[in-house]
Structure 1
Amino acid sequence: MQLQIDSMTCGGCARAVRATLLDLDAEARVTADPPARRVEVETTASLQAVQAALAEAGFPAVPVTG
């Protein structure tokens, strides 16, 4: 899944996003692109679980469609 995270503005934010997602699913594959404010996640967790974890960490995310 691809997510837009407008509050992910730097490498530190990207590391926090990655850590949050790995806490949710230790086997997740996470690729962050801070300049584009996007993250690609391969996980067995649901979109809702991913969004909830990121929102709780201060990184609200919306799915990228198309």
Structure 2
Amino acid sequence: MKFHIENMTCGGCARGVTSAIKAVDPAASIAADPPTRTVNVETMVARDEIVSALINAGFSPASE
């Protein structure tokens, strides 16, 4: 699944996004790209759970 996260603007933000997703699925494969503000996630966890984790961490994801 792919998300656009408008407020992910730096490496620190990317680490926060990664940590939020890993808290829900430690086995997830995550590729965060701050310059394009996109995150690609390979996970077996439902999209809603990932979205909730991101929102709880202060990031507002939009599906791409």
Map 1:28-39 → 2, pairs under 5 A? 28-39=28-39
Unaligned runs of 5+ residues in structure 1 are none
* Distance in 2 (alpha carbons) for counterparts of 1:24 and 1:7: 20
* Distance in 2 (alpha carbons) for counterparts of 1:52 and 1:19: 13
> Following TM superposition, by how much is the alpha carbon of 1:28 offset from its aligned partner in structure 2, in angstroms?
0.1
Q: TM-score, normalised by structure 2?
A: 0.97
> Following TM superposition, by how much is the alpha carbon of 1:34 offset from its aligned partner in structure 2, in angstroms?
0.1
Partner SS for 1:62: strand
**Percent of aligned positions with the same letter in both sequences?**
42
* Distance in 2 (alpha carbons) for counterparts of 1:56 and 1:7: 14
Partner SS for 1:3: strand
For 1:2-43, what per-residue CA distance to the aligned partner results, in whole angstroms no more than 9, with x for missing partners? 100001000000001001101100000000000000000001
Unaligned runs of 5+ residues in structure 2 are none
Q: TM-score, normalised by structure 1?
A: 0.94
* Distance in 2 (alpha carbons) for counterparts of 1:40 and 1:25: 14
- Amino acid in structure 1 at the alignment position of 2:55: A
State the match for 2:4 in structure 1: 4
